[in-house]
Structure 1
Amino acid sequence: MADAIPIVEIGVILLGAALVGFGFRKLGLPAVVGYLLVGLLVGPFTPGYVADRHQIQVLADVGVVLLLFEVGIELDLRALRREPLGILVAVPAQVAFVTVAGTAAFVTLGSGALGAVTLGLAVALSSSIVVVNITRSRKRTADEITARALLVWSVLQDVVTLVAATILTVLLSPGDASAAPIAFGKAVLFVGFAAAVQDLVVPRLLRAVRTEQDTFLIVAVSAALATAGIGAAVFGVPLALGAFVSGLFLSIRAEAQEARREVLPFRDLFAVLFFVAIGTLVDPAAILREPMWLALILGLVALKVIAVWFFAWIFRVPARRPQLGVGLGQIGEFSFVVLGLGSAAGVVSAGQFSAALGAAAITIAASAVGARLFPRGAPQG
């Protein structure tokens, strides 16, 4: 009978997250905010029931793998080459500027260099999930050009993150300075391994079982989990990064979109537990003990809104630039991955980690609402 308790717990948490997420959607907010709130309520830092974090984390790991595998598949690098040069330059410039500004601010307030870089990069990134919510919502006010700019900007951020997170993983690798080249070499080897598996092996398997829908799904999901798992266990690459790289290489194959359609429902289910697991890590007391971190992070997100507008203006990105900035003015899912790396390495404190997660919930809600406040038909610029 005791064996059934974990199943009941997961079921109740999923149901609670679904209902709270539905309520937030009715309010015009992303369901992600509701999932984070449920995690906070069942976490160890709030009164009442405390969920078993270990079992949630195992399923959450599946969620983040499927989430970022699907993000990788959705990236079409060949299509990005057809985008205007301005946006291809503006996005790396925005990420670099906000990361440097954030690093300087955190160092000024006493953070170590690696922790400051980690936090700065986390703040520089936006949420693909929220951007999709803004551009595809029935309540959206963004025109087609601005919606396209929002989607392309968030996709390019993901590409920049791939490079930045790989470098960060190397810098945060345990051991002395001599360990960094080894970690970098392992990361490069993993990229080669993922390219071989997802470009040569998996497409052939998917073609062979295309007529069997259930087998097709099993192959697609197992390939994502196995490649990301091998990346973490053998090459020392974080699960999320491994999953993203795997999806990226599969995206160039004809079978990619069918694999994405099959994986999507399972991604949505397990991703809920990923955001719930993130919510359980928020310590309100730590935020109250050091409120300066929350204030600083919110200030840096506001700076990011201005930076997006500025670089879009400088590089003549066609869009309603103020709406573009507000739509990207949040902390996203890749930020959680980056913060997790810093927390695991001990360079991001509990107070900073909780403040960043708290700021994520605030900024996700604010950007989703703020982006819809612009009137339809407003001029670009």
Structure 2
Amino acid sequence: MSGAPPLRRCGDPMHLDTFLLSLLLMLLLAKILAQLCWHLGLPAVVGELSAGLVLGPSLLGWVQPHLQLQNLAELGVVTLMFVIGCETSIKRLMHSGPRVLTVALSGVLVPAMVIPPMVHWLLPAPPLEALFFGVALTATSIGIAMRVLRLNHQDRGVMGHTILGAAIIDDVLGVLLLGLMFSLSNGDLEPTRLFLQLVTIVLFLMLAPVATRVLIYLLKPLAKRDLLPGFHASTVLLLICLFGWLAYLCGTPPLLGGFAAGLGVSRHFTSPWSKWLVNPFSFTRQLEHASGPLNDVLAPLFFSYVGLSIDLSQHALTPAFLVVALALTTAAVLAKLQCGLWIAASWRQKMMLGSAMVPRGEVGLVFAEMGRQVNLLGAEGFTLLVLVITLTTIVGPVMLKWACSPPVAQGQGGGSPD
């Protein structure tokens, strides 16, 4: 839920020299560790997350979470989702409908039912706090899963579209469940408000790609003129910022705004009136090409910031506490892995789908912080939830990379994480 408050950020302004040095360290270490992980057969995302953990308060403490860095990181995940949208076929996404819905519902219902009793018994925790654990661990990090798939050239096929659709529905349901938890904590349950929020999100995801396409038709004539360099890159950034902002206004995570804008740019775009319109293929292809360098720089910053947001140094990690954390992490992983059992596919494809749903990432971290802010989580519960989210964020991409490995070995993927 990228529009929500970050896990940690400093309220004081960051001076320019500190900002530049922080960016230097984050980019440099993220690229080094991503390349190292790639050569070791691990996902590049693990290296980028590790860069944040090393530089941040968990270990060295050289870079502190700040609002300026957080905003730049958020732009990174919106850009990543724009690129993913550009490569997504709406027709394939719609044809995957029943399968996507089944996977998404199982990915929400199973963690929500399995995790709370375990937390209530192991921690132990009050019923409402235990229930919040279940809600927080229904989350799926779209950005992390899709980056691993994209780096392994698995994001454009049927499985890629199924994973993407299920993760989006997961996030939408997560927003609604979070609203339900807040209402329960206040003793003020408003079904009408939750229903209106769902309708708003669905309408936005339906209309935003069409609005993007209309803007492209309006901007296309300008591309034929003798314009200054950078027109296409500027247009991409304009679309990302515009629809990210509109998504935020609609109560939708800005990353879904970037994805919706990317769908409108996609060469696979389709709508009821497409047959009467000339496809601006060359222009959309230029926009897609221009988004690549932006994504290559900004996406690693986002994943590095996710690691930066985690502060494990403040938590007393006793042996008993770690045993509970490992038990809950195992349950959290299995609760998502079972998603793959609901589709008719090979075992490796089932593993690919299930492991793609495992990492909670920035979505889970934001859920945890919001639970702490409204006193749904105590200090021990917050520490435990952050640790479980961190472990799933590292384990998930490793499992997904393994599940994607056969196509890479046969020459269908691989290469550099850049």
Identify the TM-score tier after normalising by the shorter chain.
0.7 to 0.9
User: Which stretch has the larger CA shift, 159-168 or 276-285?
Assistant: 159-168
Specify the alignment match of 1:216 in structure 2: 232
Aligned: 1:60 with 2:73: yes
Greater mean alpha carbon deviation, residues 185-194 or residues 291-300: 185-194
Q: Aligned partners of 1:186 and 1:125: how far apart in 2? A: 22
2:213–2:264: 8 Å Cα contact kept in structure 1?
yes
Contact 1:24 1:33 (C-alpha < 8 Å) held by counterparts: yes
My pick for the range that moved more, 221-230 or 160-169, is 160-169
Taking a change above 3 Å as real, the CA distance of residues 343 and 32 of structure 1, as seen in their structure-2 partners, is same
1:263 Cα offset (Å): 0.8
C-alpha displacement of 1:68? 1.3
Structure 1 Cα separation of the partners of residues 101 and 58 of structure 2 = 37
Contact 1:202 1:223 in 2 (8 A): no
Query: Which is worse superposed, 254-263 or 166-175?
Result: 166-175
1:293 and 1:351 in contact (8 A); partners too: yes
Q: Which deviates more from structure 2 when the two are superposed, residues 347-356 or residues 9-18?
A: 347-356
Which stretch shifts more, 177-186 or 208-217?
A: 177-186
Cα-to-partner distance string for 1:306-330 (whole Å, 9 max, x where unaligned): 541x323xx4x4xxx2211333343
Task: Give the % identical residues.
Answer: 19
Alpha-carbon distance in 2 for matches of 1:276, 1:240: 17
SS state at 1:128 partner = helix
- Once residues 210 and 305 of structure 1 are traced to their aligned partners in structure 2, the CA distance between those partners, rounded to angstroms, is 49
Question: What is the letter of the counterpart of residue 137 of structure 2?
Answer: L
Q: Structure 1 pair 40/202, CA: closer, same or farther in 2 (3 Å)?
A: same
Counterpart residue number, 2:400 = 367
DSSP-derived class of the 1:201 partner: helix
CA distance in 2, matches of 1:303, 1:216: 43
Residue type of the alignment partner of 2:189: A
Q: TM-score, normalised by structure 1?
A: 0.78
The answer for the alignment partner of 2:34 in structure 1 is: 21
Equivalent position of 1:311 in the other structure: 342
Q: 1:177 is aligned with what amino acid?
A: L
Tell me if 1:278 matches 2:293: no
Out of 127, 135, 139, the residue aligned to residue 117 of structure 1 is: 135
Q: What is the deviation of 1:228?
A: 0.8
1:209 partner amino acid:
A
| Distance change in 2, residues 1:114/1:242 (3 Å) | farther
Kept after mapping to 2: 8 A contact 1:187/1:235? yes
- Residue by residue over 1:341-379, the C-alpha shift from the partner in whole angstroms, topping out at 9 and shown as x without a partner, is 4234315734313321222112312332355379989xx
Contact 2:112 2:135 in 1 (8 A): yes
Which one-letter code corresponds to 1:13 in the other structure?
M
Name 2:115's counterpart in structure 1: 106
2:317 is aligned, of 270, 288, 298, to: 288
SS at 2:230 equivalent:
helix
Q: 1:33 aligned to 2:46?
A: yes
Amino acid at match of 2:115: F
Q: In structure 2, how many angstroms separate the alpha carbons of the residues matched to 1:265 and 1:132?
A: 15
Is the 1:165–1:338 contact (alpha carbons within 8 Å) kept by the matching residues of 2? Answer: no
Q: Is the 8 A contact 1:125 1:334 kept in 2?
A: no
Q: Which moved more, 1:241-250 or 1:53-62?
A: 241-250
- Give CA deviations for 1:23-46 in whole Å, capped at 9, x if unaligned: 111111111101101100111222
What one-letter code is carried by the residue in structure 1 that aligns with 2:305? A
Number of residue pairs the alignment of both structures matches: 355
Is the CA contact 2:247–2:254 (under 8 Å) kept in the aligned structure 1?
yes
Take 1:190 and 1:371, find their aligned partners in 2: how far apart are those partners?
A: 32
The answer to whether the 8 Å contact 1:40/1:46 transfers is: yes
- Verify the 8 A CA contact 1:287 1:351 in the aligned structure 2: no
**Which residue in 2 is equivalent to 1:91?**
100
Residue 202 of structure 1 deviates from its aligned partner by 3.8
Per the normalisation by structure 2, the TM-score is: 0.72
Partner amino acid for 1:99? V
Equivalence map 1:1-381=2 (5 Å): 3-81=16-94, 88-108=97-117, 109-110=119-120, 111-122=129-140, 127-135=145-153, 148-161=157-170, 163-165=172-174, 167-168=176-177, 171=180, 176-178=188-190, 179-181=193-195, 183-184=197-198, 186-187=200-201, 190-191=204-205, 194-195=208-209, 197-209=211-223, 212=227, 214-232=230-248, 234-251=249-266, 252=269, 254=280, 255-284=283-312, 286=315, 288=317, 290-291=321-322, 292-308=324-340, 310-312=341-343, 315=344, 317=345, 321-330=346-355, 335-346=360-371, 349-369=382-402, 371-372=404-405
Partner Cα distance (2:358, 2:238) in 1: 22
| Secondary structure, counterpart of 1:51 in structure 2 | coil
Superposed CA RMSD in Å reads 3.6
Hey, what's the Cα distance between the residues in 2 that align with 1:332 and 1:62? 22
